[in-house]
Structure 1
Amino acid sequence: MMRLAPVLAGGFLLITLGSASAATVVEQASLASTALPTGGLNATLTIDRFDVANATLTAIELQFTGGVSGTVSLTRLNNGPRVQAYPVELGADFALTVGPSAVAELQDVVASGSISIDKNAALTGSASLSTSGSVTAALAPALFAQFIGPGSVNVALAILRDNLVTAPTNAPLASQTFDNFASAELMVTYTYTANDAVVPEPLSLSMFGLGLLGLAVVRRRAADS
């Protein structure tokens, strides 16, 4: 809210206007943990638009968090060292768009691990992995119009797998299986300034009264001289 800052100078009350203070509105949308197919996943995150009367929108910030979890299962051939460790990575890449415009990307959200397989005990092994990452992006002013007004805006979310297993040439794998799950949360922060009329506070009114009193005293002294 804009505040009146009264200053007395030479018996006159000078009133200066301070800057309007900023305020924020936060909207959120999320995607619960969902199986991530080999070909990827497309989803929609729906965010309420900025719809505050008598206000000027000054900034839009997007904070996105992407999570990945799942299981990696490996089967090795019956050759090579007795015990072999296989480094594995289970992950995903995330991209957000509004219409044709990209608004945020979160790449290489990857959980790393290792699966050791003893060929004399069993030829299979597995590991459960999980991790998450986040990114913050400021929305370009050219895109503000799509986030202003009543109703909601749809933010398109594309998720692709990002998996890897490393097998040495002397201990090759017979098969590998990745069961990926992905989740997402989007938080949009609208920063704005209110355009409401200024209402003097009691202290401001008191100072104004003192200023008028000082002005009256000065005039009376001038008349008496």
Structure 2
Amino acid sequence: MMTNLFSTFDPATSKTLSMNWMSIVLVILLIPMNYWIMPNKIMIIKNNLIKTLTQEFKLLLGVNSKGFTLLSISLLLYILINNLMGLLPYIFTGSSHMTFTLTLALPMWLALMLYGWINHMNHMFAHLVPTGTPGLLMPFMVIIETLSNLIRPGALAVRLMANMIAGHLLMSLLGNNTTNMNMSLIFIFSIQIMLMMFEMAVAMIQAYVFSILMTLYTSELI
């Protein structure tokens, strides 16, 4: 029985063994693979999506993209399938928890920072003071740029978590309360279908935003 509204996001299925977090590992099995000689419709959609994303990420990263485009596309597909799978009934949504989002954002941001400070230290120092900054404002700009750089992984993690959890809360509220209202079933179903379509759009957009922001952070270093 649900004790409060936020208990729907409780990852514990039992006190001894929690199987909910298995969904973020099993999602890898849902990525389409080249099992067939002739590609099916899912493979065609995935290949077209990868080609489009590769061109867009290469424009952001420039000629020195190397393997960063592969990393960005893999990150997008992983988050996208996790978000969409969380919309199915009785499936745990790992991307609505800070444990999942911060685990993705923090190591990647830390790796970029280490790469930048080790290989491009002068560029990293120069990036703290934007071009054309007056001399009196330079100390303040260094502090502001440093703080904005430090909060990047937290902003990425909170953005993905907050958008996913807000939609699930709205679906829980409408699902629990509309049955008690004197409304026609057609009207209730219409609201639920519109909300489900909206949640699918949010799931796809948030995966794209997460990967594109990480790509923009990478483009500043290479």
TM-score (norm 2): 0.25
The answer to which structure has the higher helix fraction is: 2
The answer to which structure has the higher strand fraction is: 1
Larger Rg: 1
TM-score (norm 1): 0.25
Which of 1 and 2 has higher RCO (CA within 8 Å, sep 6+)?
Answer: 1
